[in-house]
Amino acid sequence: MSDRDTDQREQHDRTEAGADLTLTSITKRFGAFTAVDDLDLVVEQGRFFALLGPSGCGKTTTLRMVAGLEEPTSGRIEIAGRDISRLKPYKRPVNTVFQSYALFPHLDISENVAFGLRRRGVRDVKRQVGEMLELVELGGYGKRRPAQLSGGQQQRVALARALINRPQVLLLDEPLGALDLKLRRQMQIELKRIQTEVGITFVHVTHDQEEAMTMADTIAVMNQGVIEQMGAPHELYDSPATTFVSNFLGQSNLVRAEVVARDGERVVVDAFGSKLVAPTGRARRTEGKVWVGVRPEKVFLARAGSETGDDSNVLGAGTVSDVSFIGVSTQYLVAMPWGQELTVFEQNSGARDGFRVGDQVDLHWSAAHTFLLDADQDAHAGDESYAAMAGASAS
């Protein structure tokens, strides 16, 4: 018992130290190719931090540099103010849950989980392993071999094997990637529960934006070796900083416009003859050419010419070009006079009849939900369905 108290006190001391993970100007080149480009990142102690980005953007490389399995070309990595950039992996207070799990096939589950403790000569391994297996709900599986477990069970062993060492930072490289959707959702909840329970900093790499949003306190969206934006999930969603983030995290309607007026709180733009208003706090650019953005579920459809509220933004004279029923909602595509198609999600509340292809409609939404982005950026950056379509038509 007293053993356990010291354990916990040690644990407590460590957490009190404010063990932030800091990456400063981290660059990694493979030959001429730059996988991670001058990256700065601070992960606060005790956070569930998600590194989100498309395939090949450098997430794994970043994680491997933190773990010490890859050496940065330049830059510094610190934990709790201590520079660990040149430390060997086995000297870092960091453990990893690998994408492939990498469980030792020649050891049983208990010995897999005990591996780190045994290397450090910790006493009382058996009890700790037992407790850890209970935590991941695998009590009684200790004598099995990894090959005798299901994918989800192996995933939990990989988690237990890393977590039992009480690292200052736990790195998770798409640990749920190999699981089917249902198990993935279940494990997301599980992971979140365990993180809250143990209070260790989790850095979770994923390319599933839904996963990042449901689990993380803070998300960093990464693209081509740089971080595009970092913040709480709802911040990123409501106020994206770049076209990439606006498309990669959910969907966005982006319409070309020009700033015509601005005061302290609002920026007024002109989009194809319509005056639209955005809060200054959501404007990444307040002069010249901009993208006016709004999320599809924030937009309402109305019969052409009908009345709308005072603080509404309105884009008129659209024609419904496609209607897809998705159960809880209906997705409309509306062709605008300038040739662009905008997307609208409408809840199937049953309060009114839907629209049909060919109907003339106005789009309106609250000014508060409007954001402005730099018009120099590609409107389709990060839009996976667009990329897929472009790819398909090209081939």
Partner 1 sequence: MSIAQAGVTTEGLTGPEPAPPVRRRSKAGYLLLLPGMLWLVVFFLVPTIQLMATSLYDPNGSLETGYTMTGSISNYWTALSTFQAPFLRSLLYAGIATLLALLLAYPLAYAIAFKAGRWKNAMLVLVIAPFFTSFLVRTLAWKSILSDNGFIVSTLKDLHVLPPDGRLLATSVAVITGLTYNFVPFMVLPLYASLEKIDLRLVEASKDLYADGFTSFRKVTLPLSMPGLVAGTLLTFIPAAGDYINAELLGTPQQYMIGNVIDNLFLVQLDYPIAASCSVILMLAIVAMVLVYVRRAGTEELL
Ligand X SMILES: Nc1ncnc2c1ncn2[C@@H]1O[C@H](COP(=O)(O)OP(=O)(O)OP(=O)(O)O)[C@@H](O)[C@H]1O
In the bound complex, what is the minimum distance in angstroms from residue 75's beta carbon to ligand X? 15
DSSP for 214-249, please give it. Answer: HH-SEEEEEETTEEEEEE-HHHHHHS-SSHHHHHHS
Query: Which of 58/116 has CB closer to ligand X?
Result: 58
- Read off the amino acid at residue 77: I
In the bound complex, what is the minimum distance in angstroms from residue 47's beta carbon to ligand X? 20
What does the alpha-carbon distance between residue 292 and residue 214 come to, in Å, rounded to a whole number? 27
State the binding string over 131-170 for partner 1 (x if CB under 8 A, else -).
--------------x---------------xx--x-----
Q: Which of residues 69-88 bind partner 1 (CB under 8 A)?
A: 69, 88
- Read off the amino acid at residue 56: G
Query: Which of 118/303 has CB closer to partner 1?
Result: 118
Query: Which of 103/138 has CB closer to partner 1?
Result: 103
In the bound complex, what is the minimum distance in angstroms from residue 34's beta carbon to partner 1? 23
User: Is 60 among the residues that bind Mg ion (CB under 5 A)?
Assistant: yes
Sequence-distant (6+) residues with CB within 8 A of 126 are 114
Sequence-distant (6+) residues with CB within 8 A of 81 are 20
* Span from 58-66, 180-188, 256-264, 339-347 in contact with Mg ion (CB under 5 A): 58-66
In the bound complex, what is the minimum distance in angstroms from residue 203's beta carbon to Mg ion? 13
Q: Tokens 């099995």 label which residue?
A: 144
In the bound complex, what is the minimum distance in angstroms from residue 46's beta carbon to Mg ion? 25
Pairing of strands 201-206, 218-223: unpaired
What does the alpha-carbon distance between residue 167 and residue 320 come to, in Å, rounded to a whole number? 55
In the bound complex, what is the minimum distance in angstroms from residue 107's beta carbon to partner 1? 8
User: Is 68 among the residues that bind partner 1 (CB under 8 A)?
Assistant: yes
Contact between 374 and 241 (Cβ < 8 Å) = no
Extract the tokens encoding 75. Answer: 């830059």
What does the alpha-carbon distance between residue 187 and residue 170 come to, in Å, rounded to a whole number? 16
What does the alpha-carbon distance between residue 361 and residue 359 come to, in Å, rounded to a whole number? 6
Query: Which of 177/231 has CB closer to ligand X?
Result: 177
Q: Taking CB positions, which residue lies at the least distance from Mg ion?
A: 60
Query: Which of 51/294 has CB closer to ligand X?
Result: 51
Residues binding partner 1 (CB under 8 A): 67-69, 88-90, 94-96, 98, 100, 102-106, 115-116, 119-120, 145, 161-162, 165
